[in-house]
Structure 1
Amino acid sequence: MKKPVVAIVGRPNVGKSTLFNRLVGGRVAIVENVPGVTRDRLYRDTDWRGYEFTVVDTGGITDDPEGLEGEVRRQAEQAVAEAAVILFLVDARQGLTSDDFIIADILRRAERPVILVANKVEDFRDPYLLQEFYRLGLGDPFPISAAHGFNVGDLLDKVVELLPPEAGEEERQGTRVAIVGRPNVGKSSLVNRLLGQERVIVSATPGTTRDAVDTYFEVAGKEYVLIDTAGIRRRSRIAESTELYSVQRAFRAIDRADVVLLVLDATEGATAQDKRIGGYGHGRGKAAIIVVNKWDLVAKDSMTLEAYRRALRQELSFMDYAPVLFVSALTGQRVRELLPAVDEAVEQARRRISTGVLNAVVRESVLLTPPPTVKGRPVKIYYATQVDVQPPTFVFFASDPEAIHFSYRRYLENQLRRTFGFQGTPLKLIFRARKGGREA
């Protein structure tokens, strides 16, 4: 069963992301002394005293219905709507503001348990420090210092008291899909199209998505977790430390994904940065799908798609196993093909081949094209076995592993793919000496 949600809300720069990181036990949300750094909802699971729940960090709510601030407010309101418990954060040092009253009004209408949390408290003995916050009409202010962790344990005790009884039940896990790419290629629009709702803020300004945002959903009985990430730029173009953290987080999102959707802009083709992003996932053995977005903007004839595909294969030759889908997040063109492709890629990445069947293919491959000779002596490949999945990993035992050239390794990989498929996933081939030899 899905874990209950604890939403952290408040105006900008009151310490929501600091509290979020404190509750989930790591630096997940970006923390800077700049209002508006957190824009989308950021989810992480945590537990306290045996209760498991999901904490969501939200963008600061302000009284601005237009522009990005209006989008942030709407995202925060949606997080409140799905929350079992709401932590309303205020700044004890700065005191009450007009935005605090606006948020309090929103929360009273939400009909959810609300804990009024006064953050940045320095003197817990001052009886008058929090007196003004009673004007919000949300009960006793709960004093904490998120930065130092003071009183946070007591706050968590209060949270679990308000959680529904089923909070201890375990949540089902879905296929984790990281949506990655350069800024402004349409990643967030693609997420929204897949989900059928405006789950992630969409802006024409590159870099709007700064956090990796997890969204759980179910289609036809299958569970998925979409991880939308910040656009990844070359390090030389990262001027703000905030964006540097976002890039690092995007790469970590790839690390925890089952499948990576590498999103490209059809009007620009594959760039050097696209290769770098794809190479990162490839190097970590991640199943992948190349998604060419904005296909509706490309002038085309009957030859355009295949010509584009060939050029793309040449630019991203190291990912020749990855299927290429031409989509339009704007119109929905072919977007419905993404999840079946994800399912197939995951299935292939988790596939196991029995040792007997594998060695029959290896023997035939060696007979067709023998390994190279070294000083007149042929290199022998004795047998092979699969030792892991995600990616499928095969160990080949040979008389002289170091003598097996890259081109022959590639030949064996192609033979495995020709026989077993493995579309959508890289393969890892390891060559070892049969007796005490080192890995080649």
Structure 2
Amino acid sequence: MPATVHLAHGTIAAIGAYQDAPDGVVLRAPDSAYVVPGIVDTHVHINEPGRTTWEGFFSATEAAALGGATTLIDMPLNSIPPTTTVEHLRVKQRAAAGQLMVDVGYWGGAVPGNVADLEPLWEAGVFGFKCFLADSGVEEFPPLDREQFVTALREIARFDGLMIVHAEDAAVLAEAPAQPTRSYRDFVLSRPDAAETAAITQVLDGARETGARVHILHLSSARALDLIADARAEGLPVTVETCPHYLSFAAETIPDAAPQFKCCPPIRDSGNREALWQALRDGIIDCIVSDHSPATAEEKGRGDGDLQQAWGGVSGLQVGFSVLAQEARRRAISLASLSRWMSRNTADLVGLDRKGRIEVGADADLAVYDSGAEFRIEATRLAHRNPISAYDGIRYGGRVTRSIVRGNAIDVDRVDHTYGKELVRG
């Protein structure tokens, strides 16, 4: 609807008629544009400190701002040290100081041996705890076995925390064929649907046993949807996310030896993709996040096209909303629905009730999406530290043209890394 959003002191002060323009600075959007809540991306690997050559707070928050994301929650790996103790959290917070263009909060990590650190991390302001049920890819963040997982869940349930889970089953992966290959089809076979369904069953059983709140990260396999729907019907406290690359690409069109498309769990076929879109419509999947997991060209190119050796992760932080706006339009899904999945629902997941919404009293975090501004994605022109992206070379009809962070309008020609602030739970 046509409207004027009044901003004052970093918050939304009023929402009035379009003709109700105030005196002073006015930012106008063309008739082809929409003002939406700033994206709240709760799954981003910023990697600083320790692997800042992969990404860092400066480049990640700039990419976020240019893509309409005004809030990020940073994953506890692949930084060194990982965010598994309060001391390590403080190291990360010091590294971020003075580098934030958007607001940033942190997940903690649940790893073998740190059960005693979970409540102190929660009290220090992390938004929940990430764990793996299979190899994470970095030695400093090992997975939990079944007993360790339930022990951590029981502790997190005690203080009503949130466990977020990379749900792939180690035993299923160990049995899958994983020979060196340049074939994307063979790579998908090495990360089968059964790895996700087995791990998700374990997560749901753990929630049933302990009462802990659980969240399934980056759902790839539509074969797990019935499990999740049944758990919801049972009343288990489970939420689920998926990602733009699972909603945009299909395995049958991905070229071989193209590591920019490699991620774990993998991008599956087009039928699976459409089932994920339907699950969003049906409310089985709650939200969409980037799972921005970049690496250097050396890491992505490890093995010279061997997809088993290349680092797994898709870089899409700057372009995810614009990509999905077109994909949603192709499926007659409203921009309002997409915004809800990428802003309000993600904000609600982590308890940020002033983020992800255009309401009086909310933070003045906004993005302008212009459906008439076509663009071609060029990886070399993205703000990501490394110019590698699965979206490189694709043309889209519409893009984010402006972001506003707590009332500060981002100027793409004069970036300012003092706009963002550190977020803590509560």
Scaled to the shorter chain, the TM-score interval is under 0.3
Larger Rg, first or second structure (1 or 2): 1
Higher RCO, Cα 8 Å, sep 6+: 2
Alignment TM-score, normalising by the size of structure 1: 0.24
Alignment TM-score, normalising by the size of structure 2: 0.25
